[in-house]
Amino acid sequence: MATMNQMSYSEPILPLELERIIFESCATSLPVFIPQLMLVAYRVKEWVEPILYCVICIGLDSPVPSFPHLKPEAISFIMNKKSPDFLRNTVRHFMVENDLGATGKQLLELCPTVQSLSIPFEGEEWDPIIVILPLRRLDVDFRQFLRLPPTCAAFSCLTHLFLNGSPPNEKAACMALMALPKLTHLSLNCTRLFVLTNSHRILHSLPSLCVLVIFGSGVWHWRKVLQLPTRDLRFVMIIPAPDFTQDWHSGAGGGTDYWSTAGNFVAKRRAGEIDPLTYVCDAYKESEYSNLAELNLQRLG
């Protein structure tokens, strides 16, 4: 039986299951501290290291707040030291902000179970890798999207699609979008002309689409778009556009992103909490767009 002296100096011991929950919660909430958490104990490293590599972003110009920054030496470590099984079971979100040549493609090839992929620049050399991934979310250039076969594995379960730029063939673009069997969320960062001439067709042809997000730099720049004679509650404009890199990281980490923001906006319009005829999400300064309500009403004229 322990003496009173021994009991007074004994350290409290948490159940292993509770300890793991605490460390994994810390790692998920603040990924930037995962490298430090890995130094606590070997068992902690085993718990939190998969969370560290769940989201991989390479080619960043600057670090993203709250997320660890993968420097070239870290990328080399992942490619040379981590087993194929580890990467297959761990990496789910992958972003390449700037082209790193063969390095980025080689790393993506080692991560065959990526479900969320963002490649903002256009490059044919990425196509053979993209088509075999089990994607749920994809951010690519419009031209790259049109090169990918409509029946490829990457499109079979794709629900969220972000397209940057404008397509060389608008009819082919609309046909390609209509061929996506699971698409529920579509966002476009393109010209006003494409939006004006094709938004109705897209919304009408995709009844399963929950939201169509259009990005713009200012209300007056998009005046004609705001006057579109559409009452479709799924049409949302986000002005100004978010920082796409930070927004992507937030969504990949389970936080708020423009998809959830637009979804909530649509839900509030359906519930009558927001005027159903208001298409612009509130990511703007009210003082700059004081005539926004007038612009929305002009669509009915």
pLDDT tens over the chain, length 301 residues? 455 555 555 566 888 889 999 999 999 988 989 999 999 999 999 999 999 999 999 888 888 888 888 888 888 889 899 999 999 999 999 999 887 778 889 999 999 999 999 998 888 899 999 999 999 999 999 999 999 998 999 999 999 999 999 888 888 999 999 999 999 999 999 877 788 888 888 999 999 999 999 987 666 566 666 666 567 899 998 888 888 999 999 999 888 899 999 999 999 999 999 888 888 886 544 433 334 334 443 433 3
Distance in angstroms (rounded) separating the CA atoms of residues 89 and 277: 45
Helix (H, G, I), strand (E, B) or coil at 189: strand
Nearest to 227 by CA among 300, 299, 301: 299
Non-local (6+) Cβ contacts of 295 within 8 A are: 219, 223, 226, 227
Indicate if the alpha-carbon torsion angle 270, 272, 277, 283 is positive or negative: negative
Cβ of 231: how many Cβ atoms within 10 Å?
Answer: 11
φ, ψ for residue 121, nearest 5 deg: -100, 160
**What is the DSSP secondary structure assignment for residue 237, as one 8-state letter?**
E
- Return the CA Rg of the chain: 23
| E-state strands within the chain | 55-58, 93-96, 116-118, 137-141, 160-164, 185-189, 211-215, 235-238, 280-281
Distance in angstroms (rounded) separating the CA atoms of residues 108 and 162: 19
Structure tokens at 99: 């082209």
Non-local (6+) Cβ contacts of 28 within 8 A are: 51, 253, 254
pTM: 0.86
Distance in angstroms (rounded) separating the CA atoms of residues 126 and 120: 12
